[in-house]
Amino acid sequence: MKQLVLFILLSGLVCWMMFAPVYKHVAIMRQALLQQEVDYLLEVGASGTYGHISEAMILASRERLAERGFDPDDLVYEVSTTSGVDATDSARPVPRGTGIRLVIRYPYKNLFVIDRLVGASGPDPAGMMSASGMKMSEYVPDR
């Protein structure tokens, strides 16, 4: 009987120990995938061929991340430039010398719910993890 009571008391702790590391790993991997996507979009977008991060590129990026288990509708993309011009217009690329800044955000959702078993609250489910980067555009208009 004593053992049964102990088991019930400890079962929450055991569940947490078994599954919490997996969720932490998922959080790290999601963050890494977001960062990889930011790096890829900046590498392509700031190159001399494009000079912009258009809506079409963002749509393709959403699809890529959806393949990795993200919900494409929850992804938030923020594109800005150091000079304040719009970087999402493929007809008017950002010229050389201007930095393109990209931030991708994604909500934590229920990744940290399991921590409640041991009394830790973790980040707010509506809070966002984010990955960001800034790269100087190489685009030079044809003369």
Partner 1 sequence: MYKLVLFLLSAAFAMMLHASQLDQEMAVRTLFWAKRALNRAVHAAAQELDPAALSRGVPMLDEEAAERTARAYLQANLRLDGDLSPLGDSFLQSRVEVLAWEVIQGTESFPYTYRNEPLGFAVTLRRPGVIMAIRVEYPRLFRLLGPIRWDLKGAAELVEP
Nearest to 80 by CA among 101, 96, 50: 101
User: Are the C-beta atoms of 46 and 134 separated by less than 8 Å?
Assistant: no
Among 11, 12, 17, 26, binds partner 1 (CB under 8 A): 17
Mask for 76-115, x = binds partner 1 (CB under 8 A) = --------------------xx-x-x--------------
The Cα–Cα gap between 26 and 33 comes to: 10
Q: Residue 106 CB, nearest distance to partner 1 (Å)?
A: 16
> Does position 59 bind partner 1 by CB under 8 A?
no
Nearest 5°: the CA angle 18, 69, 129 is: 80
The string of DSSP codes covering 49-74 is TT-S--HHHHHHHHHHHHHTT--GGG
DSSP single-letter state for residue 138: -
> Does position 28 bind partner 1 by CB under 8 A?
yes
Among 15, 19, 26, 48, binds partner 1 (CB under 8 A): 48
Among 44, 76, 120, 136, binds partner 1 (CB under 8 A): 136
Which residue ranges make up the site for partner 1 (CB under 8 A)? Answer: 6, 10, 13, 17, 21, 24-25, 28, 31-32, 35, 39, 42, 48, 96-97, 99, 101, 132-136, 138, 140
